[in-house]
């Protein structure tokens, strides 16, 4: 009998997802390991693969329709096999031990057409089950194909990509097509005091536009955190004059550490010294974490993601630097896996590259604090009774007052400051 294809569950907090596009059409032959469709999760666009060979008999859920996880989205089987009813999006019943569209780590593919980054994705493993027969629904509309990058550009530009003619395979709309469409629209003359908008943007002006799944999840989680978590804030200024000069020496010697690397190492060492800041609470009990899982906020088009360096306390400065670069690159490419964004115990939000003097961040749900790092700016400082110009960077700790007292937050933050200003420490951890 046909095998149902199930919408996988990406991450513990994911309850529903939407298919961005089907990469196979009804009647296509599907090989084991082929990508069936892409899914927009709260943080990225993921590829869903098949663990079975067969024919795509039926597409039940078309693109852009949000359905609960574990819903039946299609059927795979042998040509001519009867599909049980006109399947509609329905939540499949899954008991422990069943493998109904579970999201599992993707093993290396053996097929010649395998993609090199398949281990970074998630897959659906459809196996034969007998789901409840869903009620009939109308046939799915014609398939509209658009790449994730093109879809993201269309959302940022405030346009509906449906009218765009695709030049990609099977008529797929790619990023170049969206750019050419925007150029063809031109920019309308700007009225006095009004923002210049393209014709498509002007049509959408002042009209409510449904936020992307990513923005909806960001809004939901941060609203919950700010509403339910009693934040308090502590700010200190660190003199990075010596550290920045030493960092330039390291860079000239071929060791391109970033200031974020030094901040991360300082935070990790301070969290090991003050484990209460690395813990979390639900208001009734405290959860002490056995290791430091450091989150680093990364801005991407349309939102923000927080990849996590797991067990960061066991890593050297060089390993922390390499892990940060790798995760940031995957984040900007939209290739982070759910595991790489889960399990954080403390987060750093660094806007040092944006020329800001100071800011405060909202604590990520499930954590006890977050460190907001501003820019290192030239300011007058007093050294030995003399006024000099130093590179001063402000840091603000947002802490959960149910868990951390003001004195503990101040002690932790001053420990981070002291380590950043300890040049001998960095000469030991990152020798030239």
Q: Name the one residue in this structure whose structure tokens are 């057409």.
A: 113
pLDDT of residue 98: 34
pLDDT of residue 200: 67
pLDDT of residue 110: 38
pLDDT of residue 109: 37
What one-character DSSP code corresponds to residue 217?
H
Residues 6+ apart with CB under 8 A from 363: 225, 229, 231, 347, 369, 370, 398, 399, 400
The answer to whether 249 touches 432, Cβ cutoff 8 Å, is yes
User: What is the C-alpha separation between 49 and 36, in angstroms, rounded?
Assistant: 5
User: What is the C-alpha separation between 2 and 190, in angstroms, rounded?
Assistant: 57
Annotation says 401 is catalytic: yes
Catalytic residue among 165, 231, 289, 401, which?
401
Indicate yes or no: pTM above 0.95: no
Strand partners, 231: 400
Residues 6+ apart with CB under 8 A from 393: 237, 238, 240, 352, 373, 374, 375, 376, 377, 420
The answer to whether 270 touches 412, Cβ cutoff 8 Å, is yes
Secondary-structure class of domain 214-429 per CATH: alpha beta
pLDDT of residue 183: 78
Residues 6+ apart with CB under 8 A from 44: 305, 334, 335, 336
User: What is the C-alpha separation between 38 and 348, in angstroms, rounded?
Assistant: 30
pLDDT of residue 192: 41
Instruction: Using CB atoms within 10 Å of the CB of residue 248, give its burial: 0 to 12 exposed, 13 to 18 middle, 19+ buried.
Output: exposed
- Half-sphere exposure of residue 79: CA atoms within 13 angstroms, side-chain side: 4
User: What is the C-alpha separation between 99 and 68, in angstroms, rounded?
Assistant: 17
CATH of 3-124, one of 2.40.50.100, 3.40.630.20, 3.40.50.300, 2.60.40.10: 2.40.50.100
Q: What SS3 state is found at 339?
A: helix
pLDDT of residue 101: 37
Residues 6+ apart with CB under 8 A from 202: 188
User: What is the C-alpha separation between 149 and 143, in angstroms, rounded?
Assistant: 18
Among left, alpha and beta (phi > 0; psi -120 to 50; other), residue 144 is: beta
What are the residue boundaries of the structural domains of the chain, listed by start? 3-124, 148-204, 214-429
Q: How would you label 350-381 residue by residue, b for 16+ Cβ within 10 Å and e otherwise?
A: bbbeeeeeeeebbbbebbbbbbbbbbbeeeee
Tens-digit pLDDT profile for the chain (432 aa)?
Answer: 788 898 888 766 677 788 888 999 999 999 988 889 988 766 667 788 887 889 999 999 998 888 888 888 999 998 888 887 644 444 433 333 333 333 333 333 333 333 434 333 333 444 444 444 455 444 444 567 888 888 888 877 777 888 898 988 778 889 888 888 887 776 344 444 455 566 666 777 777 878 888 888 889 999 999 999 999 999 999 999 999 999 999 999 999 899 999 999 999 999 999 999 999 999 999 999 999 999 999 998 878 899 999 999 999 999 999 999 999 999 998 899 999 999 999 999 999 999 999 999 999 999 999 999 999 999 999 988 999 999 999 999 999 999 999 999 999 999 999 999 999 999 999 998
pLDDT of residue 226: 94
């Amino acid at each position: 009998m046909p095998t149902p294809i199930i919408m996988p569950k990406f991450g513990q907090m994911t309850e529903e997802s939407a298919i961005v596009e089907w990469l196979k059409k009804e009647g296509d032959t599907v090989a084991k390991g082929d990508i069936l469709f892409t899914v927009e999760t709260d943080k990225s666009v993921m590829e869903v693969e098949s663990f079975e060979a067969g024919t795509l008999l039926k597409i039940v859920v078309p693109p852009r329709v949000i359905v609960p996880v574990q819903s039946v989205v299609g059927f795979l089987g042998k040509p001519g096999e009867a599909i049980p009813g006109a399947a509609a999006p329905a939540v499949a019943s899954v008991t422990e031990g069943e493998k109904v569209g579970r999201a599992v780590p993707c093993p290396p593919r053996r097929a010649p057409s395998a993609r090199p980054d398949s281990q970074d994705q998630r897959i659906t493993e459809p196996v034969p089950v007998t789901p409840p027969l869903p009620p009939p629904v109308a046939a799915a509309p014609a398939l509209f194909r658009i790449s994730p990058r093109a879809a993201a550009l269309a959302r940022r530009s405030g346009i509906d990509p449906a009218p765009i003619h695709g030049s990609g395979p099977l008529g797929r709309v790619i990023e170049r097509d969206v750019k050419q469409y925007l150029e063809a629209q031109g920019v309308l003359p700007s009225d006095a005091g009004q923002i210049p908008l393209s014709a498509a943007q002007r049509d959408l002006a002042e009209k409510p536009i449904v936020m992307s799944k990513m923005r909806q999840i960001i809004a939901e989680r941060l609203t919950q955190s700010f509403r339910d978590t009693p934040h308090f804030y502590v700010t200190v200024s660190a003199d990075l004059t010596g550290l920045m000069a030493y960092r330039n020496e390291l860079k000239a010697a071929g060791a391109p550490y970033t200031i974020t690397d030094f901040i991360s190492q300082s935070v990790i060492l301070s969290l090991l010294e003050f484990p209460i800041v690395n813990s979390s609470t639900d208001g009734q009990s405290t959860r002490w974490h056995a290791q430091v899982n450091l989150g680093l906020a990364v801005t991407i088009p349309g939102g923000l993601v927080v990849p996590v360096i797991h067990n960061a306390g066991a890593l050297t400065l060089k390993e922390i630097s390499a892990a940060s670069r790798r995760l940031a690159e995957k984040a900007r490419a939209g290739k982070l896996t759910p595991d790489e964004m889960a399990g954080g115990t403390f987060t750093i939000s660094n806007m040092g590259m944006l020329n800001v003097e100071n800011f405060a961040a909202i604590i990520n749900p499930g954590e006890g604090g977050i460190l907001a790092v501003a820019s290192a700016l030239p300011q007058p400082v007093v050294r030995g009774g003399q006024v000099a110009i130093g590179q001063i960077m402000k840091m603000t700790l947002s802490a959960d007052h149910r868990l951390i007292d003001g004195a503990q937050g101040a002690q932790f933050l001053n420990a981070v400051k002291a380590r950043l200003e300890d040049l001998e420490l960095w000469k030991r951890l990152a020798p030239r």
